[in-house]
Every structure is written in structure tokens, then in C-alpha cells.
């Protein structure tokens, strides 16, 4: 049994190394396990940088934050930078959106079996239910409930994705009434879904909250919540068990209702909730998922689990009728959509906003122009200096597809310029060690940019004409062969320096229009400094 267990773990580990398909893993794992304080500048910059390093995820995230789900935040118009999305929506909401989007991106791009799509939809729905339930119960840790519920069934997700034959064997054993899921998984895998999920969660350094709520306890084993962690466990367990109940095969709506009522009673020692309230939570949750899916051209009406959900909410038989499609047998009323999309008295009947999708482009001029417009409107309101700088750097990074971009700031009481924050490859480490003394007598290219107030492009650091002007500390620190420098000068005093690079010589091309955009972004940063002063 032990050999089988280790073989299964090794098999999944090898699959993870050879593919990046599994959602919310390789790239967003750091988002889940961030330990930085939510209000710190570092945590926001790290989050933004992690998202920006995935071009597809960046575009999808900007697309989703411009849907009607977030319309109440958009008094200043369309959001075109991740930095502003983080500022407006908050750290947790952007993180949750990113993870949700990676789920849907995976569903859209990979030709999956329907069972796999069903598993992912159930996972996302349980997370959304946990979030909505937390709101209803006035539980403070709403976003943690979302994340914890999403990873509650990590083991099942891994097996469904990487070991489909094993998953089918487990289902076959259960279907033939030879064993329950616990026994079936131990027989086939050598360990349970719970044990498998916790094994990988520890390997990926998930938070203690996620690890704690991955425990699969019976209703009687669940503690009466006296701490936030125990309440988190209760909410996570309830949302996942509810989805399991709703996913039972060949049951009528009456039978499902009886199971749901029983589940509510079983959790009375954790919290009290009525069936009507729970139905409202389910409706809100399924509409939110439908909104996500519509934005990414995914037909959720073909997902078996959601068919059952909609039938249940409409009080129909959960068994699919013969001779007609599932959606021909029920009526999804416009009133439900109407109520859901009522924003400050304005009813938005179509909650798919395709205009942004059509306009969204990776064209550098478009990204740069939109960014300048967004920062311009941002400067008219209340803002912090770091927020403006972060947005300007992000627009440069995306628009010019730099390897990295960051800003250096002069120390208050010393004539030293030192790197602060930015975006791109190894940017934290490089910016932290990027520092040089400010000297008008120095002939290096960095001081030349500051003393002459000149924007500089170095095409090739190994060009014999420029080589003497590239200091030794730079060559030892940075692997880039080409870079640009945009000095930040206020009242003839150098206060900062924007640095951006690419890996290979002559790789940076800046047509006149884009140079104008870059200068404008730098000047907007200067304006922010002046207003602050």
C-alpha cells in the first residue's frame, strides 16, 4: 500500500514538472501563499508583478474587471492596468479573480473530458458559495473562505486531471456499491484524496488556514466554532458537502431538497441558515459563475453539474428528460438576471461586456495610450505617489514588453540613487542591489542621464564606444545587453531614474510615437511628485 501511495505521488509530481496546464498552480501558487501584509506596498507590487509575468492572465484579468460585476467601481471609466485593478478592487478580490480566471482559461484551452470540466465547475462553485455564505454570516474572512474552499478538494482535482484512469476506477468501485469513496481511493491510490491534497499543499507551502480546512471531517466531528479558523473550516466543509449533495445522480428535486435540509440541520451547531437564504446564495453563486464563463466563451449549459443546479433551483426533476435538451425543459427567467444586474437603479440586461474584449489588444501603442489616459484621470483624484509610479511602470512594462522595468529614487540625506520597485524578471533582487552614487564628475551612463537630463537608449552594452561608460557593478548585477534610462528631474534636481531593459543587444526599438508615450509616462510621474511636494 505504501509503495502504491509513493508511486501515485511521484507520478503526479512528474506530470506537474512536464506541464503547466494545471490551473492555479505553478504561476499563481505564490498568490495563494503570500504572507506579506495586505496594506504594504511590497505585497501589492509583488501581486501585480506576478500577474504581469503571465501575459495571457493579465489580459484576461483586465477583461473580467471591466465586466458589470465590477461596474460600481468604475466611476472613472475602463480599468486598463493591473495596478489600478488592485487599487480599486483590493488585493484579495484581484487574487481570487486571477485564480478563477486560470480555472476557466484551462477549461477553454484544453480539450477535457466532461467529467473534468464538471469537477472544476464544482470546485469554483463551492468557493463562490463559501464566499456568499461568509457574507450572509457576517464572517470577516470572506476571501480566505473562497480560497480555502477552492483547495479543499485539491487531491480530487489532481487525480481527475492527471490520473483519469484511476479516477474512473474509483468511481466504478463506488458505483457498484463495493465501497465508499474513502475506501475506494485508498484501494486504488494507496491514500485518500485528503491525504494526497495535503501532501501537495505542504510541498507548495500553502498557508496554515488552507491546510487546516483541507481536513475532511464528518458533521459531528466539526468543532463548534469558537475561533475564526474553526468557522472557516465549517464554512468550507459546508460549501463542499452542499455541492456533493447537489451532484448526486438520479435524484428528484424533492429528494435533493430533503438532503439539503438534512445538511442544514447537521450544521446547526456551526451556524444557522434557512433554506430560502441558501437558495438565494446558490442563485447568486451560479450567476457569478455564468458571468465568468460568458466572458470566456464557455458554454456552461453543457456542464452536467450546472444542469442539475438550474433544475434544482427551478424546482424541476433533476433527472434529464428524454427527447429534449435540459434547457428546453426549464425556464430561466429574465427577472433573476434583472435583479442580479440592478446597479444603482439601472438594470443591465446583458451582463456580457464584449466591447472590451473587441478593443483589447496587445498593440503597444494601444496599451501605452490607454495607460496614459488612465493615469491622467487618476491624477485628478486622491492618489499616492507610489500608486502613480506603479501604474506608469506597469504601462511601460506591458506596452514595450521589457524584460524588466523599475524606478530608482534618490536617498533623502545622501547623494545616492537606489532601486525601489518595478516589474519583470528578478526585479526585486536586482532593484534591491541597484544603487550608485550621484556625481556630476562621473562619466558613467547613469550619471550622464541625470546630469544632462537626457533620456538615453543603450543599444549594446558591449559596443566599444559605450563599454567604458558601463560601470562594473552594473555588469555584475544585470544580464541585459540593452536598456533605456528616463531621468526624473524636479526643479533641476535629480530625484529618480526609470530603468528598463531587454536581454539581447539592439532588441529595444522605440519609434517616435512610443518615445513620446514613454516621456509622457515619465512626466506624469514628475507631476505626481510635484503635487506631493
Which SS3 state, helix, strand or coil, does residue 462 take? coil
**Shared domain check, 183 and 39:** yes
Q: The C-alpha cell of 8 is what?
A: 501515485
Supply angle C-alpha 137, 71, 65, rounded to 5: 90
- Please tell me the distance from the alpha carbon of residue 156 to that of residue 431, in angstroms, as a whole number: 41
Residue % of the chain over a pLDDT of 70: 73
Task: Provide the pLDDT for residue 477.
Answer: 97
CATH code of the domain covering residue 460? 3.30.450.40
- Please tell me the distance from the alpha carbon of residue 324 to that of residue 452, in angstroms, as a whole number: 76
Segment 145-156, tens digit of pLDDT: 888 898 888 888
**Shared domain check, 38 and 86:** yes
Interstrand relation of 435-437 and 416-424 (parallel, antiparallel or unpaired): antiparallel
Given 331, 355, 379, which residue is the final one in a domain?
355
Task: Provide the pLDDT for residue 39.
Answer: 52
User: Which carries the bigger pLDDT value, residue 120 or residue 19?
Assistant: 120
Given 324, 355, 386, which residue is the final one in a domain?
355
- Report CA dihedral (12, 14, 20, 24) to the nearest 10 degrees: 40
Average confidence (pLDDT) over 359-364: 62
**Shared domain check, 391 and 302:** no
Q: How far is CA 394 from CA 131, 142, 401, 494, 522, in A?
A: 30, 29, 10, 22, 12
Taking the alpha carbons of 223, 229, 231, 234 in that order, is the dihedral positive or negative? Answer: negative
Task: Provide the pLDDT for residue 231.
Answer: 94
Segment of 178-182, 189-193, 331-335 carrying the highest mean pLDDT: 189-193
What is the Rg, in whole angstroms, of the alpha carbon atoms belonging to the chain? Answer: 27
Range name among 92-96, 140-144, 474-478, 514-518 with the lowest pLDDT average = 92-96
Q: Give residue 314's domain range.
A: 2-355
246 has a pLDDT exceeding 50: yes
**Shared domain check, 162 and 19:** yes
The mean of the pLDDT values for the chain is 78
**Shared domain check, 269 and 408:** no
Neighbours of 194 (CB within 10 A): 19
**Shared domain check, 157 and 16:** yes
Segment 198-233, tens digit of pLDDT: 998 888 777 788 889 998 887 778 888 999 999 999
Average confidence (pLDDT) over 52-72: 65
Can you say whether residue 426 is alpha, beta or left, with left for phi > 0 and alpha for psi between -120 and 50 degrees? Answer: left
HSE-up of residue 155 (Cα within 13 Å, Cβ side):
23
161 has a pLDDT exceeding 90: no
Q: The C-alpha cell of 61 is what?
A: 484579468
Number of domains in the chain: 2
Which SS3 state, helix, strand or coil, does residue 408 take? strand
**Shared domain check, 92 and 71:** yes
Average confidence (pLDDT) over 350-358: 38
Task: Provide the pLDDT for residue 442.
Answer: 92
**Shared domain check, 391 and 324:** no
Taking the alpha carbons of 371, 372, 373, 379 in that order, is the dihedral positive or negative? Answer: positive
**Shared domain check, 341 and 207:** yes
**Shared domain check, 388 and 258:** no
Whole-structure pTM value: 0.60
Range name among 265-269, 381-385, 459-463 with the lowest pLDDT average = 381-385
**Shared domain check, 148 and 261:** yes
Task: Provide the pLDDT for residue 363.
Answer: 84
**Shared domain check, 400 and 369:** yes
Q: How many residues does the chain have?
A: 533
Strand (E) or helix (H) holding 367: helix 364-379
Predicted confidence band at 379 (pLDDT cuts at 50, 70, 90)?
A: confident
CATH code of the domain covering residue 12? 1.10.3210.10
Average confidence (pLDDT) over 128-140: 92
Given 316, 331, 355, which residue is the final one in a domain?
355
Task: Provide the pLDDT for residue 462.
Answer: 94
Amino acid at each position: 500500500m505504501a509503495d502504491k501511495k509513493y508511486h501515485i505521488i511521484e507520478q503526479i509530481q512528474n506530470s506537474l514538472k512536464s506541464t503547466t496546464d494545471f490551473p492555479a498552480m505553478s504561476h499563481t501558487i505564490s498568490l495563494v501563499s503570500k504572507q506579506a501584509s495586505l496594506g504594504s506596498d511590497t505585497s501589492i507590487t509583488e501581486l501585480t508583478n506576478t500577474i504581469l509575468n503571465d501575459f495571457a492572465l493579465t489580459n484576461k484579468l483586465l477583461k473580467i474587471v471591466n465586466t458589470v460585476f465590477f461596474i460600481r467601481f468604475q466611476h472613472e471609466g475602463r480599468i486598463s492596468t493591473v495596478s489600478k485593478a488592485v487599487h480599486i478592487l483590493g488585493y484579495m478580490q484581484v487574487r481570487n479573480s486571477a485564480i478563477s480566471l486560470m480555472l476557466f482559461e484551462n477549461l477553454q484551452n484544453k480539450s477535457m473530458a466532461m467529467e473534468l470540466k464538471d469537477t472544476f465547475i464544482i470546485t469554483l462553485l463551492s468557493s463562490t458559495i463559501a464566499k456568499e455564505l461568509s457574507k450572509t454570516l457576517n464572517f470577516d474572512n470572506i476571501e480566505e473562505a473562497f480560497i480555502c474552499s477552492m483547495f479543499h478538494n485539491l487531491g480530487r482535482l489532481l487525480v481527475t486531471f492527471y490520473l483519469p484512469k484511476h479516477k474512473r476506477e474509483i468511481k466504478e468501485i463506488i458505483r457498484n456499491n463495493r465501497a465508499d469513496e474513502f475506501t475506494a481511493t485508498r484501494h486504488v491510490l494507496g491514500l485518500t484524496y485528503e491525504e494526497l491534497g495535503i501532501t501537495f499543499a505542504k510541498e507548495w507551502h500553502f498557508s496554515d488556514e488552507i491546510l487546516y480546512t483541507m481536513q475532511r471531517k464528518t458533521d459531528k466531528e466539526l468543532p463548534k466554532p469558537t475561533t475564526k479558523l474553526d468557522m472557516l473550516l465549517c464554512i468550507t466543509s459546508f460549501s463542499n458537502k452542499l455541492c456533493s449533495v447537489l451532484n448526486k445522480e438520479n435524484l428528484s428535486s424533492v429528494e435533493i431538497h430533503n438532503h439539503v435540509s438534512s445538511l442544514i440541520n447537521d450544521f446547526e451547531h456551526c451556524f444557522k441558515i434557512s433554506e430560502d437564504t441558501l437558495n438565494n446564495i446558490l442563485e447568486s453563486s451560479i450567476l457569478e459563475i455564468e458571468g465568468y464563463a460568458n466572458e470566456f466563451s464557455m458554454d456552461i449549459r453543457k456542464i452536467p453539474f450546472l444542469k442539475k443546479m438550474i433544475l434544482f433551483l427551478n424546482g424541476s426533476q433533476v433527472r434529464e428528460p428524454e427527447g429534449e435538451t435540459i434547457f428546453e425543459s426549464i425556464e430561466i427567467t429574465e427577472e433573476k438576471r434583472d435583479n442580479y444586474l440592478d446597479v444603482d437603479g439601472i438594470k443591465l440586461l446583458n451582463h456580457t461586456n464584449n466591447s472590451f474584449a473587441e478593443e483589447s489588444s496587445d498593440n503597444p501603442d494601444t496599451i501605452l495610450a490607454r495607460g496614459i489616459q488612465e493615469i491622467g484621470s487618476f491624477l485628478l483624484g486622491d492618489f499616492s505617489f507610489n500608486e502613480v509610479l506603479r501604474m506608469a511602470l506597469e504601462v511601460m512594462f506591458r506596452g514595450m514588453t521589457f524584460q524588466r522595468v523599475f524606478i530608482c529614487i534618490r536617498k533623502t540625506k545622501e547623494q545616492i540613487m537606489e532601486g525601489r520597485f518595478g516589474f519583470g524578471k528578478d526585479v526585486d533582487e536586482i532593484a534591491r542591489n541597484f544603487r550608485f552614487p550621484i556625481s556630476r564628475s562621473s562619466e558613467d551612463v547613469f550619471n550622464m542621464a541625470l546630469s544632462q537630463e537626457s533620456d538615453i537608449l543603450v543599444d549594446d552594452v558591449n559596443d566599444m564606444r559605450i563599454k567604458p561608460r558601463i560601470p562594473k557593478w552594473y555588469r555584475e548585477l544585470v544580464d541585459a545587453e540593452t536598456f533605456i534610462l528616463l531621468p526624473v528631474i524636479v526643479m533641476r534636481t535629480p530625484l529618480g531614474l526609470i530603468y528598463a531593459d531587454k536581454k539581447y543587444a539592439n532588441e529595444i526599438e522605440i519609434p517616435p510615437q512610443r518615445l513620446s508615450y514613454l516621456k509622457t509616462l515619465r512626466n506624469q510621474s514628475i507631476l505626481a511628485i510635484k503635487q506631493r511636494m
